Chains A and B, each alone.
Chain A
Amino acid sequence: MNVNVTQLSKRYDGDVVAVDGVDITFPSGQTTVIVGPSGSGKSTLLNLIAGLLLPTTGSIHFGNRDVTRIPPEDRNIGFVFQSYALFPHMTAEENVGFGLLESRLPASQRAEIVESTMRRFGIERLRRRRPGELSGGEKQRVALARALARRPAVLLLDEPLAALDAQLRERLRSELKSIFASLNVTTIHVTHDRSEAMLLGDSVVVMNEGRVLQHDTPQRIYRQPANVFLARFFGDANLIEGHLDATGRHIDTALGSLAVSEPGATAGPVVAVIRPEMLALAPSHPDFTVRVEHAEFLGSRWRVEGISERAGRIIIDLPGDVAIAAGESLPLRLTRDSVHVIAAEDIAIGAHHEPDLTVTRRS
């Protein structure tokens, strides 16, 4: 079932706006990841959808059912909290079966569901253990199993991997991906981790200051960010200022004339988004050269920071099998035929959140 939020707002004490007029449709059976920096309103939005908070204005529909004022216990949701919040006085098995206590199912059937859910998450051997006897990863699995045992219509996850160490987080991400794919439940997953959002989301909602900045596939948000904030939030980006010509097909930049990947913007000042991997070494016909200031060897690739006389500071990702040293001059070319541009009215959005943000001006 779709989950629709319409003009949803949450204000505290009249002044603080946590969620500001949000409209989103979460498609049925798909995983939507809400991502944003701390204080962007993403967890508040999740709590509103869960019913743990009441909105100041707006509505929430699960399918055709208006659940805006319905308490969480009557929404048929599963919620995984960041801290897992397992019941400390219950065993793992009792935790997983908790959501079935009020079901009218016979005890034997409830036990079967608990058993099969625990087996699905590979935690059947932890049956008799209490939360204090479980590792972080085991707690996370029990929390997920508990949320899913009652077969909720909507699954909500509030940074479920945030409390884990990096290695375990990496492993559980992939597990979550396959679990989500097999569930066919409308899943809304909140995280501040961009790579987690890109890996897990069929679609991604980026929020900042209580508003939705972009709702799209991870690929489109990465390749075609709607504004400067998004361009910087999803990975590194070289933001090159330019001027879009009257045809809307070309921009004049410090790196030369570049084709625009989605023509149609109004002529005038724009910013071209050039990701570090969109640049490559071109010894024979370089578009421009960069003097290497700093180079980090990351195994499969180099992360290079350099200065272009024409375009200023440039970040480049190059293959790891070449030799690069600080001070040398690199001949570079753009590997794409066209670039994404951010229109003038969207340049300023979010730019003030990144103090180190530099938009390279035309020379």
Chain B
Amino acid sequence: MIERWGRKRFAIGWTMTVVIALMAVLPPLAAVLQAFRAPQAEQWSPGSFQYVIETYGGCLLFSLRLAAFVALASLVIGVPAAYAFALHPFRGSAAIEQLAAVPLALPGVSVAIAVIVGYAQLRGNWLLLAGGQMLYTVPYAVRVVANTLRNVPLRTLEDVARTLGAHGVVRFRHVVAPLLVRPVVLASLIVFALSWGEFNVSFLLATPTQMPIGAALYGTYTSNSGAVSGAATAIFLAGALPLLVALQLLERRPFDFGQGV
């Protein structure tokens, strides 16, 4: 009886995993493969990729630079904030942390319009685009770093270091910094991936000379052939996939922070 229930559970688990995997993989796969449904003349060829790189290469480079800037700026703001929220909470810090996550619950279009209205003088400046994306990415950075720090007995480990004669610089270099590396790398990968794939803010705040790949991708769908949009999607995914793989690898090997670290 128990064995039969065990097998049933195993089957349900497998089915759910396959369904979720298909739900995640099918849409981008369909986007890439749509090129094959196009008329013969428009089907995939190395030329489609060449066309995308020639036409949208600037967008790809701009997106790379933008994502790098957004990741760096989000960490500069997010890591100290997460450190304070997780290890040195103060009156109202929990409320501030929650408040910072509000943009995540708002429609992207609303956030983009709010940014345009609020900072009209920056219209056309790439900083407005970066600022708009950071409304999403900073809360993620804070969440990821704060959650990890809450699971690390960092204060105890700092106390241990103090009892072992370690002064501030040595403590930071040998204890705090190495333990921050993992959540910071994790947060930077997530933020980079978010910025790379962001559409709402990018679409509304992009200019012809400063267009992130997310907005450009929309352009390929509306004005180019299936082969070109498929190639553009493949190139876009090629940028995002390594980030996702790196995230998986990082999350698979956590430190042992259980009893008796």
Q: Footprint of B on A, CB under 8 Å?
A: 50-52, 71-74, 76-79, 81, 83-89, 98-99, 101-103, 130-132, 136, 139-140, 146-147, 150, 156, 163
Give 25 CB contacts A-B under 8 Å: A51-B162, A52-B159, A52-B162, A52-B163, A73-B164, A77-B163, A81-B159, A85-B157, A85-B159, A86-B260, A86-B261, A87-B161, A87-B174, A87-B175, A88-B179, A89-B179, A89-B255, A98-B161, A99-B164, A99-B165, A99-B166, A102-B165, A103-B165, A131-B260, A147-B164
Range of interface residues on B (Cβ < 8 Å): 20 to 34
Minimum CB–CB distance from A158 to chain B (whole Å) comes to 10
> Which residues on A sit within 8 Å (CB–CB) of B107?
none
Minimum CB–CB distance from A347 to chain B (whole Å) comes to 41
Contact A88:B170 (CB < 8 A) given known A81-B156, A99-B164, A99-B165: no
> Which residues on B sit within 8 Å (CB–CB) of A87?
157, 160-161, 174-175
Q: Footprint of A on B, CB under 8 Å?
A: 153, 156-157, 159-167, 170, 174-175, 178-179, 255-257, 259-261
Of chain B, the residue at the smallest CB distance from A86 is B261
Ordered nearest first, which 6 A-B pairs have the shortest CB separation?
A: A132-B256, A79-B163, A99-B164, A88-B255, A72-B162, A89-B178
Minimum CB–CB distance from B253 to chain A (whole Å) comes to 10
> Which residues on B sit within 8 Å (CB–CB) of A77?
163
Q: How many angstroms from the CA of A71 to the CA of B164 in the assembled complex?
A: 11
Q: How many angstroms from the CA of A76 to the CA of B179 in the assembled complex?
A: 25
Contact A71:B162 (CB < 8 A) given known A89-B178, A89-B255, A163-B260: yes
> Which residues on A sit within 8 Å (CB–CB) of B255?
88-89, 132
Q: How many angstroms from the CA of A146 to the CA of B259 in the assembled complex?
A: 18
Of chain A, the residue at the smallest CB distance from B258 is A132
Set A73, A83, A101: member contacting B156, Cβ < 8 A: A83
Contact A83:B161 (CB < 8 A) given known A88-B255, A98-B174, A131-B256: no
Report yes or no: A88 in contact with B260, Cβ–Cβ below 8 A.
no
> Which residues on B sit within 8 Å (CB–CB) of A150?
164-165
Q: How many angstroms from the CA of A232 to the CA of B22 in the assembled complex?
A: 66
